[in-house]
Chain A
Amino acid sequence: MDDSARQHSGERISGAVGTPIPHDSAHLHVSGAALYTDDLPEPRGLLHAAVGLSPVAHARIAALDLGEVLQAPGVVDAMTADDIPGKNNCGPVVADDPVLAPGVVEYAGQAVFAVAAESVEAARKAVHLAKVSYEELKPIIDPVEAVAASSFVLPSEVIERGDSRKAIDAAAHRLQGRVSLGGQDQFYLEGQIAMALPREDGDLFVYSSTQHPGEVQHLVAEAIGRSSKDVVVECRRMGGAFGGKESQPALIACIASLLAHKTGRPCKLRLDRDVDMLMTGKRHDFVIDYEVGFDDDGLISGIRFEFAARCGMSADLSGAINDRTMFHCDNAYFLENISIVSHRCKTNTVSNTAFRGFGGPQGMFAIEHVIDDIARYLSRNPLDVRKRNFYGKTTRNVTQYQQTIEDNIIEDVVTQVESSSDYAARYAAVRAFNADSALLKKGIALTPVKFGISFTATHLNQAGALLHVYTDGTVHINHGGTEMGQGLFTKVAQVVAEELQIDIDRIKITASDTSKVPNASATAASAGADLNGKAAQAAAQTVKRRLIQFAAEHFNVEPSAVRFENNEVLVGGQAIGFAELVHLAWFARTSLSATGFYKTPKINYDRSTFSGRPFYYYAYGAAVSEVIVDTLTGEHRLLRVDIVHDCGKSLNPAIDLGQIEGGFIQGAGWLTTEELWWNEKGELKTHAPSTYKIPVCSDVPEEFHVTILESQANREETIHRSKAVGEPPLMLSLSVFHALRDAVASVSNYQVLPGLNAPATPESVLRAIDGQRAAG
């Protein structure tokens, strides 16, 4: 369409901020034409890699003989830790994560050696020919065992405010308990993959399915003994990531790169599902101890938490993840006197890592569990106890880490979902139903979410972008964020379209590339659109300023008389097409390329004291879930879900709605069906979808009402006043777990606290029901 035609095409540009346009790759996704890393054309001479994994959880490698491996048909080369020219490390924070096991293996599934062959099949087959003998050492598998043995990947941390001991001792009522909470595999549909291509002069170009191309670049460079300038990493899209591709892809990319470096040939490593699940980290599972004191209304006066997280064999991101647990064990509640102890347990299991929520869900699980216990102990409606403990707006509004909550809308959110779900009437109806139903029991729960937005490591809250405008008026935008399906590229393009006032189809969003935007943070912490949207906007504004400057001079008007609107630039009273102005500007030698940079304002936080303002703002939400349980088998079904969630002023309501629905269901999987099962030797036995159950289509209730909180602009000056939406909705699923507790408690006519651990699989629900019967 030329510019003259556009003048009559409508009032607004297409793809403006706030419009629910489809994902930018949707037409490719539905045609099978969207290229994931494994779909890229394979370069000449490509080798395929496979990895030899440790079968044991903890052992010294007594002997390692790859002779037969190297003799196998199709095998070109193989390597062990000894063959790594640079640093044998792919740990993101602490250098304690070897690429290949250096003499000692610390989990079953750890990479011990790698093979490069002419075909995938040849490489995978040859792996089995290795002769490795292990001298087994005693493994530590579970976190309780680790605490007893003082086995930690990082020092235990403490947050204290007030005198929790005194407050609990003085309280009218006291409870204490222990609950365990399972981990979760990310189960991105596209498994981990990287393809490394040698370039001239020993350089490497790496395609990696990663949320953090910059870190892959850095660690690959170190592993091959070179520097960052010698390695370029690119990622157009991932087939899902959910945190599982934040630190983990470095391992995959390092192996592919080391083999490419050693052989001088391109090399691809794609993990099959079983290997992926055995070899890469998951959400941390926890054992949580608590002690709480409260009054007759359920108001908490003092609380003590002790968290033991299974971190696995290395630190990975466990420090920040467990910090976030400590920051979120208040959820939406003011806990005046609180003591939090957080153990980061070293175990001989895979090193656990980021997963949507990043420790926050576990913290929120803990406090919701306590509140639910309090309500049941007092025979109160749990919602009343929740409300009794909510943060205030002007008082009772300082967190345990000394951040004043300035944007508290939790009551608005809860009130809205309480009314839209008809909670009170249904709460009564559930009890009436249970009174008349011996075998089937229903349960209902409303749980809130308050989630802090920003990386807790302040320095990561920065982003860059690169924007080019071509003389035909089209735009190329690149930023440090990565696309994993969350719609980041679409949102950023909308921001640029809005800024330049051009239709979104004039904007090409391009693959994340370390040679275009350097040193980018991982696309994580829900901050992708907040950070990269602002950086892209800044780049667009820079070019726009230059165009305004040019137009003002060229047409001899004041800069304030130049306005961009609907694919046109209005100069004084005259309209010219965007492309036309761009062309004129170029002819007059105006720079049409700019970088943009953004750093989140206001945040500042001292980790040594766990105090300050780690979060720029909070995102809020609330959900009501109703379940039905078969007390003969423990089977349960989600009957209805109502959600109200805060997205600020949404950049794209369709994308945000998808994040809310998807996050909720993913969380429901974590708490009800997804069970990671290790045997006593530390072998993970649920390492495929045939044994590890993620939600399927029929698990989703037909009554699933999701509402984006209306007209609540972010109080902070975020990108178009939107709010981050990647992680917070996952924790809305706590309502499912508490609805199940409610149903279980009905078996004792609500007289006995339900002893239900997560995940609430049918067998675990049945056990809890048996507990009700035995105690009741």
Chain B
Amino acid sequence: MYEFNYHRPASLDEAKRILSGNDEAKLLGGGMTLLPTMKMRLAQPSDLVDLSAIASLSGIEVAGDSITIGAMTTHAQVAASAEVSSRIAALSVLASGIGDAQVRNRGTIGGSVANSDPAADYPAAVLGLNATVITDEREIAADDFFTGMFETALGPQEILTAIRFPLPKRAGYAKFPNPASRYAVAGVMVAETGNGVRVAVTGAGANAYRVSEMESALSANFSASALDGLAVDASELNGDLHASPEYRAHLVVVMAKRAVAAAGG
């Protein structure tokens, strides 16, 4: 790991001040991805801004038709939250399946979403549940947020502060985990929302994406059998030591069906 300046600001304003004019600074959430990356010397930030002391960034808040989760809320907190599990069980399932117990104790929802790791679980939830990404500057619709592998719509000095999930009518998440890392080889969030059915996939492509053919099929008939015969084109998918593109394409369909079943379809 290379040297850097470490900051632990107590407020968003202070964090912002450190970031401003400092292009090489990076925000530190739980560090579950960033620190390993830095240890491998694949990232070399000049400054690390640890957000853990900013109390306003943690917590789960329930409004009438949505749940807002602070960026620094850990996966363990989301998984253990009765508010979450009673309203969006699929989100609870997703959070409790990330990494292992110790990763869930440190890793944060904000860190996971802002990183847009192609194999992370949360991007599927954000996109599938049609969440809104809230930053210190604006609100970003899920459909506009993930722009590429490790790339998002966030500006260089923009701080993701919370994510607001509208309550779906029903939703389900299923993933085929990499047996070693438990990252998603293919993970699918299926949700019936106020604005129709959404199907979001993580792990299979460069970043989380929606599958319109599946959405239309499920809009007509919200059941696993609606996806029978539907094939996913392997040519766009990742192929690596974890799985071939063909296997991923196959898994996307199987996981989508499982997600529909989990949603009660």
Using a CB–CB cutoff of 8 Å, the interface residues on chain A facing chain B are 121, 128, 632-633, 635, 673, 675, 677, 685-686, 689-693, 761-763, 766
Contacts and interface: CB of A to CB of B under 8 A. Distances in A.
Interface residues of B, number: 15
Nearest to B242: A691
A635 B247 contact: no
Interface stretch (B15-23, B107-115, B141-149, B173-181): B173-181
Given A677-B241, A691-B241, A691-B242, A766 B180 contact: no
A632 B181 CA distance: 22
Main secondary structure of the interface of B (DSSP, over half): loop
Contacts of A762: 176, 179
B250 A766 contact: yes
Contacts, number: 34
9 contacts: A633-B251, A673-B179, A677-B241, A691-B180, A691-B242, A693-B179, A762-B176, A763-B244, A766-B250
B241 A635 contact: no
Interface string B228-243: 0000000000000111
B176 A635 contact: yes
Nearest to A770: B250
Given A633-B251, A633-B254, A693 B180 contact: yes
A728 B176 CA distance: 34
A686 B240 CA distance: 11
Given A677-B241, A763-B243, A632 B179 contact: no
A127 to B, nearest CB: 11
B180 A690 contact: yes
Contacts of A677: 241
Contacts of B251: 633
Contacts of B244: 763
A632 B186 CA distance: 14
Contacts of A761: 179
A689 B250 contact: no
B247 A763 contact: yes
B204 to A, nearest CB: 14
Nearest to B183: A690
Given A633-B176, A633-B251, A633-B254, A691 B181 contact: yes
A121 B2 CA distance: 9
4 closest A-B pairs (Cβ-Cβ)? A693-B180, A693-B179, A690-B181, A677-B241
A692 B241 CA distance: 10
Contacts of A692: 180
B104 to A, nearest CB: 15
B232 to A, nearest CB: 14
A677 B239 CA distance: 13
Contacts of B181: 690-691
Contacts of A763: 243-244, 247
B179 A766 contact: no
A579 B119 CA distance: 66
B65 to A, nearest CB: 35
Contacts of A690: 180-181
A373 to B, nearest CB: 26
Given A632-B254, A686-B241, A693-B178, 13 more contacts: A128-B41, A633-B254, A673-B179, A673-B180, A691-B181, A691-B241, A693-B179, A761-B179, A762-B179, A763-B243, A763-B244, A763-B247, A766-B247
A565 B1 CA distance: 61
Contacts of A689: 180
Contacts of A675: 241
Interface string B150-194: 000000000000000000000000001011110000000000000
B239 to A, nearest CB: 11
Nearest to B244: A763
B71 to A, nearest CB: 25
A128 B180 CA distance: 28
Nearest to A675: B241
A402 B41 CA distance: 57
A691 B36 CA distance: 14
Contacts of B247: 763, 766
A128 B247 CA distance: 37
Contact of A685 (B1, B178, B241): B241
Nearest to A679: B241
A631 to B, nearest CB: 10
Q: Kindly name the residue among B176, B179, B241, B242 whose own CB sees the greatest number of chain A CB atoms within 10 A.
A: B179
A757 to B, nearest CB: 15
Nearest to B40: A274
Contacts of B179: 673, 693, 761-762
